[in-house]
Amino acid sequence: MSTRILFSTIRRCHWLNKGFAAVPVRYYGDIPKIYRPYGKTGDGNYGSTLGKQNVGYVEPVREQILSLAKTLPFTDKDSVFNIADYGAADGSTAMAIFRELLATLKDHHGPNTQFQVIYEDLEMNDFNSLFKRMSGIIPDPPSYLQEMDNVYVLASGTNFYKQCVPSNSIHFMMSMTSVHWLSRTPTTFKDSIYKDAKSSTEETAALHKQAELDWETFLLKRSRELKRGGLLVVGTCAEFEGRNTGENRYMLQSFIGLLNEVWKEYSITGKITKDEFINTNLSFCLPNMEQVRKPFDDKTSPVSRSGLSLLSAEAVVNPDVFYNNWREKKDKEGIDEREEFARMYVYAHRNWSNSTFMNGLSDSRSLEEKEQIVDGLYDDMKKRISRMNPEIFKDDLRFIYLVIRKE
């Protein structure tokens, strides 16, 4: 090798090494428009706040899961029984049901059966907290991994609108409070952060069209991953008809409506610009029963032709643990802790909403300035909710549950 080539190679290697050393800091600091979980990585924030409510969302399908689990095809040809959780966050929501599921399957197939549990979420997910929960470093809820042999846990940092695991590999998969999130923001609501009565027909149609496409994509990817006879259980936040008014409402409409109200006031008073308000849109769509059933009711749809069939679909109202805690203390102790209700409520729901408001702010603002504005938003939310009657503010936590089999 000539001296010129040698020095050129050394300079190139030095540049590459220098570049790789610097990239992680610049990369995570300079990408403003991706979803980021709220809280410090590895502190278990999701499970200690929103997870306390979400863990109860599995209850309406718990018995059905444990009963159907025994019918899942598993033979000597299968070296491992594969279980997957899509939109897993830090693993807290699925911990209890997976403990029961594994115990049921071990009893049915024998203690020496090997199990692999795969947790899927976005690449920026707090997988640090997930594995701290698995290892028992974060002890609540208790980890099944500390009690069971022949159980192996992996993570997939892959968007679930892509294929996340090998084809024909999963026996049982679950997704709770995740599939309402869209693959992209399909429209910009000019007067709100999510669709409301003032939204235009075009805006609403664009949102529903994207939701329909994403739901089909999600199901087709899972169909490819499922073994024949495998199960997919989905629980999604939903839109529903109000029992008293007959109007269409959606889960957490009071909270989202108040977020919109405060954020719009920020725009009017100049705390944020009008463009920043317009650029703040929640990238999800809360579906109704007709929308989630559509791919299954149409026997000619790609989903039906892929082999997926709907075993059951049910709308359920889940308890709001933060409201129940407030109500119980008021009834039993005579203490009306509205400030505590507001604090817990806002802190929990900041988990999923914080990133949207950070992303809505202009890239010309510093990170510190963005955080100051968004901190102020949630502080104002707590103050306003604390002055409201929880009986009036609380929302029905309406869910739709689907149990799906790969034929």
3-state secondary structure of 237: strand
Identify the pLDDT of residue 53. 85
* Position 125 pLDDT exceeds 60: yes
84, amino acid identity = A
Query: Is the model's pLDDT at 14 over the cut of 80?
Result: no
Q: Is the dihedral of CA 240, 246, 247, 252 positive or negative?
A: negative
The confidence band for 152, taking pLDDT boundaries of 50, 70 and 90, is very high
Question: What percent of the chain stands above pLDDT 70?
Answer: 90
CA separation for the pair 94, 375 (Å, rounded): 30
Amino acid making up residue 155: A
Contact predicate 89/160, CB 8 Å:
no
Q: Are 121 and 127 in contact (CB under 8 A)?
A: yes
Using the predicted structure, report yes or no on whether residue 83 has a pLDDT greater than 80: yes
Nearest one of 347, 354, 353, 355 to 322, comparing CA atoms: 347
Tokens of 395: 């929302």
Segment 370-379 shows an average pLDDT of: 98
Q: What is the mean pLDDT of the chain?
A: 90
Q: What is the pLDDT of residues 299-323, one digit of tens each?
A: 999 999 999 999 999 999 998 999 9
pLDDT band at 37 (very low <50, low <70, confident <90, very high): confident
403 DSSP β-pair partners: 233, 312
pLDDT 10s digits, 384-407: 999 999 999 988 789 999 999 999
Q: Any idea of the CA torsion for 122, 104, 219, 38, to the nearest 10 degrees?
A: -20
* C-alpha span between 58 and 62 (Å, rounded): 6
> Which stretch of 10-14, 91-95, 144-148, 287-291 has the lowest confidence by average pLDDT?
10-14
For residue 172, pLDDT beyond 60: yes
Residue pair 113/197 in contact by the 8 Å Cβ criterion: no
The predicted structure's pLDDT at residue 33: 65
